[in-house]
A = this chain, B = another copy of it.
């Protein structure tokens, strides 16, 4: 039988599972929030489905469930640095955000670097948290080598997500968040399980030849979105959010982790920009002008990114989140058995 829970009730349940598996308060609270946010927003791929993966990563000893992030020393006023100390990225982000916002307001822009974290969540919860401060946010991170650079033939870049948010007073922000590969790796896995061929242009096989066979694609490499342009953006993310911040690149992550089934370890780069500071002394209110741009986009029948997600959120907040019987049983099992419930 399906089960409907309020969003806070679901969050409590997820948090209890994570604590039962041995995570401390800061890790379990932050993770439960983003996992619940995924479920609430209708993003099943970042919802409770992710619990097992995070427990598997914990059980494999590849993330520290007892980590307490800390603000690290930074000699540059524009750079806030948080050491996740081998824990998940989310509590480290939460810790750094207030100082990031303060510095962005003071300087006009600032960066938050999260180092030594395990990353498994979407980036939109972070850009949304930045827009809650009236700031624009740009967030990016590597993942693990699974994408061939355009013209190449083997996995090197990660699916390297990039997300951006712009605050909209009185309503949900403008937010996009996407992988710089054509699709996320999970999409290829889903095609494999369903026995369906891939659309052309998604992947190459182990010999570097185009393929529509999901198994051959998983043994080969995914392709960047938008050809050489997406490939260049994916490379920029390796440079800025890997090399520049002194953390792992996607090929290094794969070398260390040895598997693509565990959540990747690396760093994350978060930029916050203050529209109020950038627009100071110029004509027009940036927030009002942005609304005119959004109206023009919607006025010609195009959608803003995240619109469906915000609609799902509104429904979930008023009507709750409905879990299938299988999902509810899975949560029960995870709560009862802890790490014994996963491989």
Cα distance A302–B230 in the bound complex, in angstroms: 14
From residue A176, how far is it (CB to closest CB) to chain B in Å?
4
Verify A78–B110 contact, CB threshold 8 A. Answer: yes
Contact A246 B278 (CB under 8 A): yes
Instruction: Decide if A278 touches B176 in the complex (CB within 8 Å).
Output: no
Using a CB-CB cutoff of 8 Å, which residues 108-152 of chain A contact chain B?
A: 108-111, 113, 115, 136, 138, 148-152
Residues A154 and B109 in contact, CB atoms below 8 Å apart = no
Of B109, B138, B148, the residue contacting A111 (CB under 8 A) is B109
Does A65 sit at the interface, judged by CB under 8 A?
Answer: no
A126-B153 Cα distance, complex, nearest whole Å: 32
From known contacts A152-B302, A166-B239, A246-B278, infer whether A229 and B230 are also in contact, taking CB-CB under 8 Å. Answer: yes
**Chain A 301-326: CB-based contact to B (< 8 A → 1; otherwise 0):** 11101000000000000000000000
Task: Evaluate contact between B239 and A290: CB separation under 8 angstroms.
Answer: yes
A189 interfacial contact with B, CB 8 Å:
no
Contact indicator B246/A286 (Cβ below 8 Å): yes
Bound Cα distance from A113 to B164, whole angstroms: 20
Query: Given the known A-B contacts A76-B107, A76-B280, A106-B76, are A297 and B149 also in contact in the complex, defined by CB atoms under 8 Å?
Result: yes
Number of interface residues of A (CB under 8 A): 76
**A193-220: which residues lie under 8 A (CB-CB) from chain B?**
208
CB distance from A154 to the nearest CB of B (A): 5
Residue of B nearest to A182 (CB): B226
Q: Which residue of B lies closest to A277 (CB)?
A: B76
Cα separation A282 to B111 with both chains bound (whole Å): 16
Question: Complex Cα distance A149/B227, Å?
Answer: 19
**Is A73 among interface residues, defined by CB-CB distance under 8 A?**
yes
Known: A225-B229, A246-B283, A296-B251. A273 touches B240 (CB 8 A): yes
Q: Which residues of B contact A235 (CB under 8 A)?
A: 174, 293, 297
Instruction: Please state if A151 and B107 are interface contacts (CB–CB under 8 Å).
Output: no
Whether A289 lies near B151 (C-beta < 8 A) is no
**B239 in contact with A115 (CB, 8 Å):** no
Starting from the known contacts A178-B232, A244-B279, A246-B280, 11 additional A-B residue pairs (CB-CB under 8 Å) come to A78-B78, A79-B277, A151-B301, A152-B301, A164-B236, A226-B227, A240-B273, A245-B278, A245-B279, A246-B282, A246-B284
Closest 6 CB pairs of A and B: A246-B282, A226-B226, A76-B108, A78-B107, A152-B302, A151-B302
Which residues of A are in contact with B by a Cβ distance under 8 Å?
A: 72-79, 106-111, 113, 115, 136, 138, 148-154, 156, 164, 166, 174, 176, 178, 180, 208, 225-232, 235-236, 238-240, 243-247, 249, 251, 271, 273-275, 277-284, 286, 289-290, 293, 296-297, 300-303, 305
Sample 13 A-B pairs with CB under 8 A, ordered by A number: A76-B277, A149-B302, A153-B300, A156-B296, A166-B236, A176-B236, A180-B229, A225-B226, A235-B293, A245-B282, A246-B279, A247-B282, A251-B296
